[in-house]
Structure 1
Amino acid sequence: MSASAKKRKGRATGAPESSGHVAAAAGKTPAAAERVRPRLFLIAGPEAGEGEAAEKALAEALAGGDVAAVLLLPGDADEAQFQRRAEGLVPVAQAAGAAAILAGDTRAVGRTRADGIHADVDSEDFAALLESLHPDRIVGAGGIRERHHAMQAAEQGADYVFFGLLDLVPEDEAHPKTIALAGWWADVFEVPCVALAGAAIASVTGVALTGADFVAVRQAVWSHPDGPRAAVAEANRLIDEAFASADGLR
């Protein structure tokens, strides 16, 4: 087993960086001895809007508090449409200090100067993505349904593993399997993990308590009754509370 998949002595440090370089939170440095507060990982699909409306909504969300990374999803858009959308959103994310990651489109990553790509670990070209994009860009592994998929991604050199399926209709709470996988991974492995919260903002608490390095939020932000800025602020408050609660039990 490679060093990236060995049992860790502490929590992973840092976060993906918007510079495009894979940093400590991408599993490239030894884990810190102390626990580290989870950070938000914002997902923006079609529900975030289109065109200038999407750019405004993303900027508003990022003004709400700490966000480590933004994952842009194409939805039903074709390659050209997704690239145009990313051209507007990538600079918004990066200007706020968040890494901009695109789902599955290597050409759009290069053309928009995004910081990385998110791809299914079982895709035939995952290894090729790692070879072509490392070390300058982040390569994250999604589509993980079983433990061995996550370990495979870590062995290959993925910068993070993502627990939660993006194509499922979300429930208010995080999926039980997501919670189980994140808790297992956080206690054992050094490569950072991202765990997907549910459609209700309150679900952030349960995900943060797993020890995941990043808490992914999607519908909980874009459908929040008080808007995306309030949603991100609330999500960060819930992470703070969960982290303090878990720290007090040590």
Structure 2
Amino acid sequence: MTDDAPIRPRLVLATTLLPEGPEGVERLRVALEAGDVASVLIDPAGHSAAAFQDFCEAVVPMVQDAGAAAIVVEDTRCAGRVKADGFHAPEGTIEALGEAMARFSPRLIVGTSGFNTRHDALEAGERMPDYVLFGKLGADGEAEPHRRNLDLAEWWASIVEIPCIVQGGGDLATLPQAIATGAEFILLSRAIFGQAEGVAERVAEANRLFDEAVAAEAA
């Protein structure tokens, strides 16, 4: 971010908490239909390889039909098989990021996470991924976002043109903290999918808070 124009962040969802099978697919469908979603990080955590493949085959077309980017985490073979829009390298190593860039970019979106210092984040940025995530999938158990992630996202958004995603907390009440960083995208999982009921309402509320923050800054 190189000027003072208000940033209206967009929502990124992680599937980490979604159950396998039709129930998880349906919850994601409800979320996608409830408001603007930029992309979905499809997380293999808790899935066998076969079950994750099945899950991706079910949700990738649905995410794409909703106008969002379907980004497969960690599993390179699955990302190719299901014709995902992108691949996310979560290892936090330059080697893994370099391999992902060589294999998928520019054909697919390539993002990364796990770089937890300014130096390491800048080194990752030199490889020119499409985005950098500050946070760790599944690490949003607390109501508030992690302070380190907020600080890194605010610093990055102020000086680097490559977009960043900042991981929000597990409670929508703390979403303004993530919005205040100026990050282009905010990742939510527990705050949206932590309870089976009310998914649509929480997606709508997140987008309302994004709009409210931009309006307040522009006033």
Deviating more after overlay: 72-81 vs 100-109: 72-81
Among all aligned residue pairs of Structure 1 and Structure 2, give the percentage whose two residues are the same amino acid. Answer: 40
Shift in Å at residue 137 of structure 1?
Answer: 0.3
Which whole-Å deviations, capped at 9, do the CAs of 1:75-110 have from their partners, x for residues lacking one?
132322211111111111111000000111111011
Secondary structure (helix, strand or coil) at the match of 1:48 reads coil
Secondary structure (helix, strand or coil) at the match of 1:135 reads coil
Within the candidate set 145, 152, 156, 1:185 is matched to: 156
Which whole-Å deviations, capped at 9, do the CAs of 1:48-85 have from their partners, x for residues lacking one?
22111111111100111000000011113232221111
Report the equivalent of 1:9: 2
Q: Take 1:88 and 1:225, find their aligned partners in 2: how far apart are those partners?
A: 19
Q: Take 2:140 and 2:173, find their aligned partners in 1: how far apart are those partners?
A: 17
Normalised TM-score (structure 1)? 0.82
8 A contact 2:140–2:169 mirrored in 1: no
Within the candidate set 21, 26, 34, 1:51 is matched to: 21
Within the candidate set 135, 149, 152, 2:123 is matched to: 152
Q: Take 2:27 and 2:138, find their aligned partners in 1: how far apart are those partners?
A: 22
Within the candidate set 87, 98, 101, 1:130 is matched to: 101
8 A contact 1:144–1:165 mirrored in 2: no
8 A contact 2:13–2:187 mirrored in 1: yes
Which whole-Å deviations, capped at 9, do the CAs of 1:5-25 have from their partners, x for residues lacking one?
xxx534xxxxxxxxxxxxxxx
Which whole-Å deviations, capped at 9, do the CAs of 1:82-141 have from their partners, x for residues lacking one?
111111111111110000001111110110011111113316332021011111101101
Which whole-Å deviations, capped at 9, do the CAs of 1:171-217 have from their partners, x for residues lacking one?
10111111111111111110000000111012221101110000110
Report the equivalent of 2:84: 114
Answer yes or no: is 1:222 the counterpart of 2:193.
yes
8 A contact 2:143–2:170 mirrored in 1: yes
Q: Take 1:38 and 1:169, find their aligned partners in 2: how far apart are those partners?
A: 19
8 A contact 2:6–2:217 mirrored in 1: no
Shift in Å at residue 169 of structure 1?
Answer: 5.4
Within the candidate set 165, 175, 186, 2:146 is matched to: 175
Report the equivalent of 1:242: 213
Q: Take 2:65 and 2:144, find their aligned partners in 1: how far apart are those partners?
A: 31
Tell me which amino acid in the other structure corresponds to 1:9.
Answer: T
Q: Take 1:75 and 1:225, find their aligned partners in 2: how far apart are those partners?
A: 19
8 A contact 1:90–1:114 mirrored in 2: yes
Segments of structure 2 that go 5 or more residues without pairing to the other structure are none
Secondary structure (helix, strand or coil) at the match of 2:174 reads helix
Q: How many pairs were matched up?
A: 218
Tell me which amino acid in the other structure corresponds to 2:126.
Answer: E
8 A contact 1:139–1:158 mirrored in 2: yes
Segments of structure 1 that go 5 or more residues without pairing to the other structure are 1-7, 11-32
Q: Take 1:242 and 1:34, find their aligned partners in 2: how far apart are those partners?
A: 12
Q: Take 1:218 and 1:81, find their aligned partners in 2: how far apart are those partners?
A: 20
Which aligned pairs between 1:26-45 and structure 2 lie closer than 5 A? Answer: 34-45=5-16
Q: Take 1:247 and 1:185, find their aligned partners in 2: how far apart are those partners?
A: 22
Report the equivalent of 1:22: none
Answer yes or no: is 1:70 the counterpart of 2:40.
yes
